[in-house]
Structure formats: C-alpha cells, structure tokens
C-alpha cells in the first residue's frame, strides 16, 4: 500500500504537470481551435501515402480528445494517398496542442508500392495555424489577393460538380495559394480560404519573431517550420523518435493510431523550460 508521503508526492507531481501544461498553453490563441495542413514531399505515391497516414493519425488523435474535425480542402494522389489536405480542428486548446506538430515528418519503411520490396524514406510537411477571430488584426490588403473560383472535386454532393463552388486565393506579395472546396457554397469556401490565409500569415509573422529572438539570444537554432521534427521508422526496427525532445517509443502502431500525446506534452514542457 502507498504511504501517506507517497500519496502526497504523487498528488504534487500531478499538480506540477497540470501547472506546466497551463503555462505552456499561455499563448494568445493556444486555447482556441486550429487548422492544420499536410503536404506530401517529393517521392510521388510513396510520399502521398505517408501524408494519408499522417492525416489518419491526427484525425484519430482528435477523436480521442473529442475534437470536431472537418476536411476543408483535399487534393488526392493519382494512385494512393493525398498530395495535400487541410483540416479544421474545433475545440478548446486544439491550437495549443497541435502547434507542436508543425515541421517535417520522416517515414522509413519497406514500400508497399515497390515490387522489389526496397526500403524507402518519405517526407511530409505539417503546417498548423490558429483559427483567428474576425476582430484579430491580421491586415490583408484587398489589392494583395487574387480570387479564383473553380469546379470542386471534394465532398458535398452532386451540386459541387455542377457549380463553381471551390475558391482559390493567391496572396500576391508572397505567391502563397490557399484553396477551399469542401464547403457547399462559393461564399462558404471563400470564407474558409480567407480563414486559412489569415492563419498562415499569422504563423509567418510568429516565425519571423522567433528567428529574431533566437538571433538576439545568440542561439544557433533552425526555427524554420519546415525543419524535420520526428522520424517514424518501421524497418529494419520499430521506433518513433522526436528529434527535438529525444522522446521515443517502439510502439509505432499506437503512434500511427493517434497516440501522440507523449510527444506533444514533452515538447510543451520543453517550451516552459526554455
């Protein structure tokens, strides 16, 4: 049986973990909803299948946390997987948790698409953005955007195949392109595309501030959101390792089924110690 001292120590440890999480969720938009995008890297079908695996992993994670999810835009691969996909995750702390996942994710496995059963390495990039309220000051000059409409290829019923409901917005200063095609109307798709654009512009600004902060501190750290953060090795051994915190596990099946809290929490605690 546990002694009174052991029970008190356990309670203190739980309280400390809670306070660390509260501190890590102190960002201006951490308590709100999130948008995340997954982009397959070079490598064709292999990379697109990896992007699809990541999509399933995050949808399973969101389901376990009772978050509502909606795919707002998706471009499917020619043979399998997805080239890119954007998902809205609605719920408290969604952005605060998911922002730890932005970066490049690397997979090593025996390719199911290789008739010679050779080992392949695939990459996919994950972007994470907050869902910003309309009154948040993210200035977008109307002259800086170009809006196009096109036939949707996403979900939504037969009506989306007959009408130009999908929306593509090009942000002219950078050439950035965002699309939305899974809403039922052109107006809804335009609203969603603008939501994604505002979130991406916010993240770009945060990246610039982080890079400047690191320079001032004299820290030689790659702050680029595209830098590799985690390796998923399925062959010749089983391991998932986070390259920022050194947290690792051999239970790759559980991780790919959405059990990623150990990586998220370790990264968040690392931020509070920085």
pLDDT over 90, % of the chain: 62
- In this predicted model, what pLDDT tens digit does every residue of 156-192 receive, in sequence order? 443 344 468 999 999 999 999 999 998 889 999 999 9
- In this predicted model, what pLDDT tens digit does every residue of 122-149 receive, in sequence order? 999 999 999 987 766 788 999 999 999 9
User: Which pLDDT does position 225 carry in this prediction?
Assistant: 46
Mean of the per-residue pLDDT values of the chain: 86
- In this predicted model, what pLDDT tens digit does every residue of 35-44 receive, in sequence order? 999 999 988 8
Strand ranges inside 199-246, DSSP E: 228-233, 239-242
Q: Is the pLDDT of residue 222 over 50?
A: no
* Cα 68 from Cα 20, distance rounded (Å): 26
User: Which pLDDT does position 232 carry in this prediction?
Assistant: 97
Contact assessment for residue 68 and residue 90, using Cβ atoms and an 8 Å cutoff: yes
Mean of pLDDT values over 224-229: 67
Q: Is the pLDDT of residue 224 over 50?
A: no
CATH number at residue 213: 3.30.70.1660
- In this predicted model, what pLDDT tens digit does every residue of 75-116 receive, in sequence order? 999 899 999 999 999 999 999 999 999 999 999 999 888 878
**pLDDT confidence tier of residue 151, bands split at 50, 70 and 90:** confident
- In this predicted model, what pLDDT tens digit does every residue of 18-34 receive, in sequence order? 666 777 788 889 999 99
User: Which pLDDT does position 213 carry in this prediction?
Assistant: 67
Domain count, the chain: 1
pTM for the predicted model, two decimal places:
0.84
Which pairing describes strands 228-233 and 103-110: parallel, antiparallel, or unpaired? Answer: parallel
User: Which pLDDT does position 152 carry in this prediction?
Assistant: 78
Query: What residue numbers bound the domain in which 150 lies?
Result: 4-273
* Cα 100 from Cα 111, distance rounded (Å): 28
Calculate the dihedral angle through the C-alpha atoms of 67, 240, 113, 41, rounding to the nearest 10 degrees.
Answer: 70
**What angle, 0 to 180 degrees and rounded to 10, lies between the N-to-C axes of helices 261-273 and 4-24?**
80
């Amino acid at each position: 049986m546990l002694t009174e001292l052991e029970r008190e120590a356990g309670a203190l440890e739980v309280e400390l973990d809670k306070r660390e999480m509260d501190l890590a969720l102190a960002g201006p938009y951490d308590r709100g909803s999130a948008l995340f995008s997954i982009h397959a890297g070079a490598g064709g079908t292999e990379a697109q299948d990896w992007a699809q695996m990541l999509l399933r992993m995050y949808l399973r994670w969101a389901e376990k946390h009772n978050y509502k999810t909606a795919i707002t835009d998706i471009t499917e691969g020619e043979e399998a997987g997805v080239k890119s996909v954007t998902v809205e995750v609605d719920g408290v702390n969604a952005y605060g948790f998911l922002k730890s996942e932005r970066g490049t994710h690397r997979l090593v496995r025996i390719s199911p698409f290789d008739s010679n059963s050779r080992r392949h390495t695939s990459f996919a990039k994950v972007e994470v953005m907050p869902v910003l309220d309309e009154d948040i000051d993210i200035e977008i000059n109307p002259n800086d955007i170009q809006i196009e409409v096109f036939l949707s290829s996403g979900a939504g019923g037969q009506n989306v195949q007959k009408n130009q409901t999908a929306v593509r917005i090009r942000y002219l200063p950078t050439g950035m392109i965002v699309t939305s095609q899974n809403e039922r109307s052109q107006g809804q798709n335009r609203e969603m595309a603008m939501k994604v654009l505002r979130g991406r512009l916010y993240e770009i600004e945060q990246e610039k501030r982080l890079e400047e902060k690191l320079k001032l501190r004299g820290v030689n750290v790659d702050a680029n959101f595209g830098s590799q953060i985690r390796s998923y090795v399925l062959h010749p051994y089983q391991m998932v390792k986070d390259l920022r915190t050194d947290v690792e596990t051999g239970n790759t099946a559980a991780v790919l089924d959405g059990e990623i809290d150990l990586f998220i929490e370790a990264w968040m605690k690392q931020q509070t110690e920085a």
